[in-house]
């Protein structure tokens, strides 16, 4: 017989999800996923990558620069950057400190300079000056972690091999209860399980636009949101549906 002082175990996230499904609500139900995707298609038709680029190399550099920086700022920097250094060969000939003044305004410029110059050298030495179009090869390029690789593969090569999980996708996927995880790699795996593969590329673009336009971090514009009546996020500013405490960004 348990002692009177025994602690009562709190239900786990998985247990809460199981209870919710038993009560008739399943955040991952195919019908709900379909509705989310349809409404995103209607609200953000034809959206593409916000980073300006003319080729795979420019997109790779722009994506590296976008870490902890707005796309608007990156798009202000890259035109002059690519005019000054048109090809990977030009970047590969630099020392990182030579690149720093050109990208200083994007933040973390020392690390980014090392990554970009390192990427250029690897692409010249290992891939004949061409950005590789395969995930395993792209991940060997300095600065090209999985998120960056997914951006390049999806937006330039049109290869849906994963889902881009940036800060907007991370936050909004949790708000929409498409995942309960906090690690970007695990979130990506969760999204790949519930989203049709043909939507992997577009979904990220749409969610990024949604995060900037309506589902903003500090004060989401819930009254204007096309997903409002199927969103139960804990931080909603206005709601016509039940709030779920576990649906946190």
Q: Could you tell me how far CA 47 lies from the centroid of its own chain? A: 14
* 147 is annotated as an active-site residue: yes
Alpha helices by DSSP H, listed for the chain, are 13-22, 30-43, 56-65, 71-84, 88-92, 96-103, 109-126, 135-138, 146-155, 167-175, 184-194, 200-213
Distance separating alpha carbons of residues 112 and 104, to the nearest angstrom: 9
How many Å apart are CA 22 and CA 36, to the nearest integer?
A: 22
Catalytic residue, chosen from 147, 190, 199, 236, is 147
- Of 52, 71, 64, 49, nearest in space to 145 by CA: 64
Residue 147 CA to residue 144 CA, distance in Å, equals: 8
Q: Check: CB of residue 99 under 8 Å from CB of residue 113.
A: yes
Q: Is 19 part of the annotated catalytic residue set? A: no
CB neighbours of residue 120 within 10 Å: 27
d(CA 144, CA 67): 11
Single out the catalytic residue among 166, 190, 199, 236.
Answer: 166
Active site residue ranges: 147, 166
């Amino acid at each position: 017989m348990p002692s009177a002082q025994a602690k009562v175990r709190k239900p786990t996230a998985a247990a809460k999800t199981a209870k919710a499904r038993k009560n008739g609500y399943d955040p991952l139900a195919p019908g709900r996923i379909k509705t989310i995707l349809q409404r995103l298609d209607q609200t953000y038709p034809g959206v593409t990558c916000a980073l300006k680029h003319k080729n795979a190399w420019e997109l790779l550099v722009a994506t590296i620069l976008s870490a902890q920086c707005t796309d608007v700022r990156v798009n202000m920097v890259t035109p002059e950057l690519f005019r000054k250094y048109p090809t990977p060969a030009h970047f590969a000939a630099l020392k990182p400190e030579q690149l720093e003044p050109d990208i200083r305004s994007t933040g973390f410029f020392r690390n980014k300079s090392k990554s970009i110059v390192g990427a250029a050298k690897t692409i010249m030495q290992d891939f004949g000056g061409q950005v590789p179009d395969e995930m395993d090869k792209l991940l060997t390029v300095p600065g090209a972690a999985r998120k960056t690789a997914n951006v390049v593969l999806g937006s330039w090569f049109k290869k849906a091999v994963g889902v881009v999980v940036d800060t907007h996708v991370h936050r909004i996927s949790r708000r929409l209860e498409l995942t309960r995880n906090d690690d970007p790699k695990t979130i990506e795996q969760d999204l790949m399980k519930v989203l049709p593969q043909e939507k992997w590329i577009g979904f990220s673009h749409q969610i990024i636009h949604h995060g900037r336009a309506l589902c903003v971090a500090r004060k989401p514009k819930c009254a204007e949101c096309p997903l409002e009546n199927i969103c139960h996020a804990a931080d909603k500013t206005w709601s016509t549906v039940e709030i779920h405490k576990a649906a946190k960004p």
